[in-house]
Amino acid sequence: MVASIWLQPTGDGYKILRELVIRLAAEQDTMSFEPHLTVCTIADPTPEAAQAAANYIAACRTLPVRVRKTGIFYSPTAPLRAVTMGVENASDLREFRKTLRDLTGAKDLGEPHISVLYSIGSDQRRTAWSGDEQKLRAIAAECETRLAASQFLLDDPVLVAPDGDWTNVASWTVIRRL
């Protein structure tokens, strides 16, 4: 089993991002999902690793963490990063992510971001337009206009796992609140 630790937007930031994700998924005939920042992804999360993460989160003073938007980006090659909101890799977020990676044996950390659109349909396959750079650029530009907020508060850490592969977006389940 693979799982990820997420931080979720709170307050107005959650509402803004959730409405954008739902709207884009409906407009582009893709899967909707809960907005989140992936802290780290664990190839085989043991109960001990999950407990170590929970213990660290309970004791640390990092959360909630305020993040700053760095821009809206798109990828015609990575369906789970079709359109993302880049997040500044500030020292508090960076150290939080590194510590959890080390405690859980997680994979290397990618650049922090919050996805707003995946190019994966309900059939768990890439959409016909997933590689269309022009279309993705236009969607990203529209998101830049729609997403006027520049800062978001992240909290509510959870451990999330898919049934099978991450492309099975509808199966993503919170398996533990941290």
Of 140, 141, 94, 134, residue with least CA distance to 117: 140
CATH number at residue 126: 3.90.1140.10
Query: Which two three-digit tokens encode residue 12?
Result: 């107005």
Q: What is the pLDDT of residues 128-162, one digit of tens each?
A: 999 999 999 999 999 999 998 999 999 999 999 99
How far is 162 from 152, CA to CA, in rounded Å? 26
Domain carrying residue 95: 3-177
pLDDT of residue 73: 98
pTM for this entry: 0.96
Q: What is the pLDDT of residues 18-49, one digit of tens each?
A: 999 999 999 999 999 999 999 999 998 999 99
Q: How many domains does the chain have?
A: 1
Mean pLDDT of 61-67: 96
pLDDT of residue 173: 98
- CA torsion sign, 70 to 71 to 76 to 82? positive
pLDDT of residue 3: 97
Q: What is the pLDDT of residues 105-128, one digit of tens each?
A: 999 999 999 999 999 999 999 999
